[in-house]
Structure 1
Amino acid sequence: MTEIEKHQYDVVVIGAGGSGLRAAIAAHEAGAKTAIVCKSLLGKAHTVMAEGGIAAAMGNRWPEDNWEVHFRDTMRGGKMLNNWRMAQLHAQEAPERVQELEDWGALFDRTDDGLISQRDFGGHRYARLAHVGDRTGLEMIRTLQQRAVALGIDVFMECTVTDLFKDGSGAISGAFAYWRETGTFLAFEAPSVVLATGGIGKSFKVTSNSWEYTGDGHALALRAGAALINMEFVQFHPTGMVWPPSVKGLLVTESVRGDGGVLKNSDGERFMFNHIPEFFKAETADTIEEADRWYDDKKNNRRPPELLPRDEVARAINAEIKAGRGSPHGGVFLDIASRRTPEFIHKRLPSMYHQFKELADVDITKEPMEIGPTCHYVMGGVEVDPDTELSAVPGLYAVGECSGGMHGSNRLGGNSLSDLIVFGKRAGEAAAERASSLTERSGVPDDVLAEAEAEALAPFDSKGAENAYTIQADLQQTMNDLVGIIRKADELELSLKEIEALKERAAHLHVDGGRAYNPGWHLSIDIHNMLLVSECIAKAALTREESRGGHTRDDFPGPDPEWGAKNLVLTLNDARDGVDLVEKPLPIMPDELKTFFEDK
């Protein structure tokens, strides 16, 4: 065993997006010695991709808005599969968390009265997204990062965690990692670890996610003994760029539609009026004139169909493309140029203007954008206690996209950013409390460190001939073709066979060169996480024989009340070479909360 750099902390937070930073700040303020470990550079988190706003019922534009309405919208958007307690806490605490960001220096757009401005987003009854133009996620990261640095929290940048340690009682005792620049190893001894690693998008061919999103937290949790829930629910954001190929999948914020953009097919038809589900007809405009009046005065509160929840819009776009009414490059058109002035677009959507102008040579103030669905977010994740974000493993917490339950089967736009700060704070406080309550701590034995090191270095010693990049490309194609936006049993069964074959190939990975500056080695570690999480997605998708939210089965086209009362729970099997799945009843909502859904 080589010499391993060792550190001792009370709380180690893995990930430096919105939830990780907020958790670290909360842990530090609770008195815990805290470290942040992030795979990339500090500030380069997927949180910046959430451009449209932070959902919080502050009532700045609609005084009628309150946490009860936000709770109802969130539950309905998730098709009632959400953990009701998480949705309740989220709706109740989001306004205070947004105000906290402003107190820490976030510069939100303002109403004429000087209040934080709030915009419309799909699935939200009222305009409730606090925003900073279309750069809200960036402002959140800037604010939280500045706060964390000012507090003196230790940060380990470009450092990848490969394993979690447990003591003799089965509780977390630390984490194993390596510096990406040099390949040297380090170990963290800590009784509390918070997973804030984001999503799984790099398992799919077309995704808005950046290279870091390889399901690390999901896989670390599984291997440590925690459970994942409802991994079949993968959100395909309706609007990603489709041209040029180099940026296919890059996110086009929902605020384009929230500020008046409309979707059209190749016939010039505003097709969303043909795809309004029964569930939403009572509150959705069913004529163009009515929808346009809503944009102008918003008095009748019957919303344009472009602002349906993301799963509904993505399916509608997919249907238009399959029917041969798509754009020249395989998407549809998103038009705001004919509906808003250039001045309005430059003020409200500056990032989108520059993104299309610089990457696609499209001036969105003069012509429509070509867009299509892109893998964006996973609603499933680590099963956690709703109040503390504690997993089934003592000392292991999960927040943000790598946790499950909050969003049910479909996440409403804007709920991601408020989710990060609400539950990040709760997880950090709980993790710090656990650390302070312990009278004794277990170190990490040298033989355990040696085993973790050997596993990380195995690709260098392998006699195999497999390449991690080839395996990832084949996995992405498999997930794209067989576990995509529309699914059916025979394709899902085939996908599981393909994933098993890829797992066998991954057992024979070989990496050339040294440990310094070796991206092939990095991917050889990440690919095992992607394969494990992809198996969870495909297995859960095959098991759930209904269509709900982000999960659409062509052979089971409608929702089923029986399935609507179940979570699908996945754990690592005894052989540690695959996953087991069981069904578990959904937590029962209290009667006083059920009244929010009566006659509405």
Structure 2
Amino acid sequence: MTRHEMTGNEMSPEARGGMERHTYDVVVIGAGGAGLRAAIAAQEAGARTAVVCKSLLGKAHTVMAEGGAAAALGNRWPEDSWKVHFRDTMRGGKMLNNWRMAQLHAQEAPERVLELEDWGALFDRTEDGLISQRDFGGHRYARLAHVGDRTGLELIRTLQQRTVQLGIDVFMECTVTDVLKEAGDREGRVAGALAYWRETGRFITFEAPSVILATGGIGKSYKVTSNSWEYTGDGHALALRAGASLINMEFVQFHPTGMVWPPSVKGLLVTESVRGDGGILRNSEGERFMFDYIPDYFRAETADTEEEADRWYDDKKNNRRPPELLPRDEVARAINSEIKAGRGSPHGGIFLDIASRRDADYIRKRLPSMYHQFKELADVDITAEPMEIGPTCHYVMGGVEVDPDTQQSAVTGLYAAGEVSGGMHGSNRLGGNSLSDLLVFGKRAGEAAAAYAVTSGQQGARPVIDEVDVKEAQASALAPFDVAADASGGSENPYTIQQDLQQSMNDLVGIIRTAPELERSLEALRQLKERATRMVVEGHRQYNPGWHLALDLRSMLLVSECIARAALARQESRGGHTRDDFPGPDPGWGAKNLVLTLDASGDGVDITEQALPVMPADLEQLFQDT
């Protein structure tokens, strides 16, 4: 099925004054799990819905979420419940989560997973024929519904099939550059979006009262990342420029296990399922070092000896989990410490060993993607030898500030779901919570966006796009073609700027941070933004990846500044934010969010503090009971 066959209401550019235009009730930006689930919900609610995505349908980064979707189904452990899942999520996020989002997620995740099964998802099964659930770090019970280690792929396949079945229009290889506001009121409601076809460079306008951001994360601002090429912070930047706010952008999760060799695949994700199925971490001296890094607040739940940890996999009744299954931030910091202490592997990582723990048939059955990934890309047989792995930029917990029940931002008609939204995961996301998060809040965003769009239509007051804004947005997007080399600084290449940005973020705003390094990063970002004004793109708009990157850099530079400013402001260590000069958590900082908005110039960001929502007494009691 081609792109054009999926855009059913296409109108010729000639018929609309030279620009392709479409009218919908809801436009979803992004075709990952959150975007597709939102589109399905909106369409089923009666809204005319379109999905716009930078890549091809089915190629979203969600396919790389391999381990499973966390949901308290209780198939392995009948003792599991939404309350335990809620408590695990809040503790994993170091209590900085929006409690209402964590509650809704834990309560609704089982229904969303069973819904996928009704739509044709083929999950692994228990001996009794129920959906199988595996262990993951930070979860008290085995609760990840999975399909081998290819769960994200199956999720996308199922949602994609449902999307096509419902007749939802999909605009593939199409990039949104701006969210457009109501004519005559730039502080008012959303009216649509401007995009361009990546193939031809032609602009396209979407008129819609509801826009849902489902664009994923920010990882391509870092040199070493598990993220795919689409993850350039588009949704975060679109929200800021539209007048919405971001929260807690300092919290960037570095997944403990990314490939470190060969260099061409450095950072590529090694699923947490390897550790969930028995893999252990060793340093260059052969020591299983995670026993030295168990935090006090997990001491009662974590095995203290190798014998106790090994026994857990065969007899889990004592529930004293191996230290390799601590939350990701704890494991990543431990690995980083071992490497810095000179106990790393030959290529700058450490060793992840499942070969000595499980037989070859078990590994190939449970971890087929990992077996093929290492065999084909690194010539390593994980059934016979350990993997070299290290931390890789993986996920941003911060994002668009949204209403927990509807996912609407501060801008009327603008919604966000999935990784681009903030609040759900606090300062650190537990593995497996991302897939169930995007299902739960994708559905909620789609339903809320559809309800608002239908209501605005019934009232006869659908917002109208300002044509002046459209022309300004077009001119801004085309600016790199018009920049001429000046005598003082000359022209700049977007690829060079991206390389320098990634190096700066990797070196100065990485897994361990200090005030002097963060201040240097802000100065580096200022210089990069100035250089970006001199970016020159050669050639024409057709098939021009340099132009695409120049537009992506607008988002990457803005979002990187948000991360660095928030990291400098938060003077404590918590979850995915570690300050070497403030090594512990601070109760004062644990009671507030950092909110970022676009400044008056429109080129930088302002930062303010905001009190964390107060958890109700009945939910607070869950933590006192433990």
Q: Normalising by the residue count of structure 1, what TM-score does the alignment of the two structures yield? A: 0.99
1:57 counterpart letter in structure 2: A
Q: 1:141 aligns with which of 123, 133, 156?
A: 156
Q: CA offsets per residue over residues 81-133 of structure 1, 9 Å max, x none?
A: 00000000000000000000000000000000000000000000000000000
Q: Could you tell me how far 1:446 is from its partner in structure 2?
A: 2.6
Q: 1:340 aligns with which of 330, 348, 358?
A: 358
C-alpha distance in 1 between matches for 2:18 and 2:285: 66
Q: Does 1:531 align with 2:557?
A: yes
Contact 2:335 2:391 in 1 (8 A): yes
2:267 counterpart letter in structure 1: G
Tell me what 1:484 maps to.
510
Q: Does 1:219 align with 2:234?
A: no
Tell me what 1:498 maps to.
524
Tell me what 1:470 maps to.
496
Tell me what 1:456 maps to.
477
Q: Does 1:443 align with 2:440?
A: no
C-alpha distance in 1 between matches for 2:463 and 2:606: 30
C-alpha distance in 2 between matches for 1:306 and 1:546: 25
Question: Could you say what secondary structure the match of 2:140 adopts?
Answer: coil
What percent identity do the matched residue pairs reach? 80
Alignment root-mean-square deviation, CA: 0.8
C-alpha distance in 1 between matches for 2:465 and 2:441: 29
C-alpha distance in 2 between matches for 1:298 and 1:338: 20
Where do residues 74-89 of structure 1 align in structure 2 (5 Å cutoff)? 74-89=89-104
C-alpha distance in 1 between matches for 2:340 and 2:528: 29
Q: Does 1:556 align with 2:582?
A: yes
Tell me what 1:210 maps to.
228
2:117 counterpart letter in structure 1: E
Tell me what 2:269 maps to.
251
Q: Could you tell me how far 1:445 is from its partner in structure 2?
A: 3.2
Q: Does 1:366 align with 2:389?
A: no
Question: Could you say what secondary structure the match of 1:236 adopts?
Answer: strand
Question: Could you say what secondary structure the match of 2:179 adopts?
Answer: strand
Runs of at least 5 residues in structure 1 that lack an aligned partner in the other structure = none
Question: Could you say what secondary structure the match of 1:299 adopts?
Answer: helix
Tell me what 1:183 maps to.
201
Q: Does 1:304 align with 2:322?
A: yes
C-alpha distance in 1 between matches for 2:18 and 2:429: 45
Q: Does 1:426 align with 2:430?
A: no
Q: 2:53 aligns with which of 38, 52, 57?
A: 38
C-alpha distance in 2 between matches for 1:271 and 1:447: 61
Tell me what 2:8 maps to.
none
Runs of at least 5 residues in structure 2 that lack an aligned partner in the other structure = 1-12, 486-490
C-alpha distance in 2 between matches for 1:403 and 1:446: 29
C-alpha distance in 2 between matches for 1:399 and 1:566: 22
> How many pairs were matched up?
600
Contact 2:219 2:395 in 1 (8 A): yes
Tell me what 2:71 maps to.
56
Q: Could you tell me how far 1:442 is from its partner in structure 2?
A: 2.6
Tell me what 2:106 maps to.
91
Q: 2:256 aligns with which of 235, 238, 243?
A: 238
Structure 1 runs (4+) deviating above 3 angstroms are none
1:503 counterpart letter in structure 2: K
C-alpha distance in 1 between matches for 2:147 and 2:219: 26
C-alpha distance in 1 between matches for 2:339 and 2:74: 38
C-alpha distance in 1 between matches for 2:569 and 2:477: 33
Tell me what 2:124 maps to.
109
Tell me what 1:518 maps to.
544
Tell me what 2:6 maps to.
none
C-alpha distance in 1 between matches for 2:91 and 2:346: 35
Question: Could you say what secondary structure the match of 1:178 adopts?
Answer: strand
Q: Does 1:8 align with 2:16?
A: no
Tell me what 1:123 maps to.
138
Q: Could you tell me how far 1:189 is from its partner in structure 2?
A: 0.3
Tell me what 1:156 maps to.
171
Q: Could you tell me how far 1:444 is from its partner in structure 2?
A: 1.8
Where do residues 321-340 of structure 1 align in structure 2 (5 Å cutoff)? 321-340=339-358
C-alpha distance in 2 between matches for 1:50 and 1:450: 39
Contact 2:599 2:606 in 1 (8 A): yes
C-alpha distance in 2 between matches for 1:34 and 1:373: 39
Q: Which stretch of structure 1 is more off in the superposition, 163-172 or 372-381?
A: 163-172
Q: Normalising by the residue count of structure 2, what TM-score does the alignment of the two structures yield? A: 0.95
Q: Could you tell me how far 1:599 is from its partner in structure 2?
A: 4.1
